[in-house]
Amino acid sequence: MDKLHCQFPSRTCCAMVFTEPQTVMGSSQTCSSLVLEANLALSMRDYLKSHGVRPKGSVEYGFMNHRAPANGRYKPTCYEHAANCYTHAFLIVPAIVGSALLHRLSDDCWEKITAWIYGMGLCALFIVSTVFHIVSWKKSHLRTVEHCFHMCDRMVIYFFIAASYAPWLNLRELGPLASHMRWFIWLMAAGGTIYVFLYHEKYKVVELFFYLTMGFSPALVVTSMNNTDGLHELACGGLIYCLGVVFFKSDGIIPFAHAIWHLFVATAAAVHYYAIWKYLYRSPTDFMRHL
Ligand SMILES: [Zn+2]
């Protein structure tokens, strides 16, 4: 027998569902009333499933859940939770090593500061994302904690976008107007953070619009640089992010959609790292020669 205990919007309901044939001995309840009760509970379960709510304590082991309601969050299955955690957790160490390498390859103070900014954005993205997905998987009953980490997961994306452009904006020569993008991109990141504080999960399309605007607007400035080395890789990474957005918005339509989105992010971040390492910092062979 399985106990279904849930919270409807207006009242608390509790019902018993018999999953195996039962013998009712010495009970005042008739079989027909039990069947009626079981039917009620089953339809309640269908109702909850269709609204993305699972019975308390139950675990979903499928490869994909139902789509989330417009103003609610998608609930990944156990396998999806695991994939979401591992796809970003495995990138934390490479991100730290990669950041340290850029710092070592820096020629001057400004390159060092830029390596720090970029490295912190890169590492923060994978660390915050991994922690959020672990909390969402293992500590989902701690609603406030999960909500805070979800907000951090969203905020860090704005800072990651700003940090990804920082090496190009800081280390390449820009025109007098374009150079304003150096500080304006951080203003946009701060604006995005405030937006998450105020309207987190309320207007998902607006949130996506902000991410894309922030992702594309510095590209207009960067492409106007005299030195265009590395811009192909920069555009290629941007295209990979854009393709990944299709999966970012496909929870409940494509199994493991969010984990696939993570892989797109990882690939795009790797392409951007390669371009920064190759075109903006001293080559490792040159560095070894001067040791
Ligand atoms: Zn994620």
- Residue 63, pLDDT score: 74
Q: Which two tokens stand for residue 178?
A: 């374009």
The answer to whether 156 touches 128, Cβ cutoff 8 Å, is yes
Domain boundaries, the chain: 2-50, 78-289
Q: Which two tokens stand for residue 52?
A: 């993305």
What residues are neighbours of ligand 1 (ion), with CB under 5 Å? Answer: 129
- Residue 217, pLDDT score: 86
Average pLDDT for 13-37 = 46
Average pLDDT for 228-247 = 92
How far apart are the CA of 258 and the centre of ligand 1, in A? Answer: 6
Task: Find how far residue 89's CA is from the centre of its chain.
Answer: 12
- Residue 288, pLDDT score: 62
Q: How many CB atoms lie within 10 A of CB 173?
A: 9
What is the average pLDDT score of the chain? 79
Q: Which two tokens stand for residue 104?
A: 């070592």
- Residue 78, pLDDT score: 87
- Residue 61, pLDDT score: 55
Confidence of residue 25 (pLDDT cuts 50, 70, 90): very low
Q: Buried (b) or exposed (e) across 20-41, using 16+ Cβ within 10 A?
A: eeeeeeeeeeeeeeeeeebeeb
Average pLDDT for 185-196 = 93
Q: Which of 45-49, 169-173, 286-290 has the lowest mean pLDDT?
A: 45-49
The dihedral built from the CA positions of residue 110, 194, 83 and 264, taken in this order, carries a sign that is negative
Higher pLDDT, 143 or 120: 120
The answer to whether 77 touches 62, Cβ cutoff 8 Å, is yes
Whether the predicted pLDDT of 213 surpasses 70:
yes
Q: How many CB atoms lie within 10 A of CB 42?
A: 13
Average pLDDT for 13-19 = 41
How far apart are the CA of 182 and the centre of ligand 1, in A? Answer: 27
Q: Tens of pLDDT along 131-150?
A: 999 998 887 677 888 889 99
Average pLDDT for 108-136 = 94
Confidence of residue 208 (pLDDT cuts 50, 70, 90): confident
User: CA 136, CA 214: separation in Å to the nearest integer?
Assistant: 27
User: CA 197, CA 190: separation in Å to the nearest integer?
Assistant: 11
**Rounded-to-5 percentages of helix, strand, coil across the chain:** 65, 5, 30
For the entire predicted model, the pTM comes to 0.73
List strand residue ranges (DSSP E) for the chain, in order: 2-7, 12-17
How far apart are the CA of 81 and the centre of ligand 1, in A? Answer: 10
- Residue 16, pLDDT score: 42
How far apart are the CA of 244 and the centre of ligand 1, in A? Answer: 12
How far apart are the CA of 224 and the centre of ligand 1, in A? Answer: 33
- Domain 78-289: give its CATH architecture: Up-down Bundle (1.20)
Residue 266 burial (CB < 10 Å; 0-12/13-18/19+)? buried
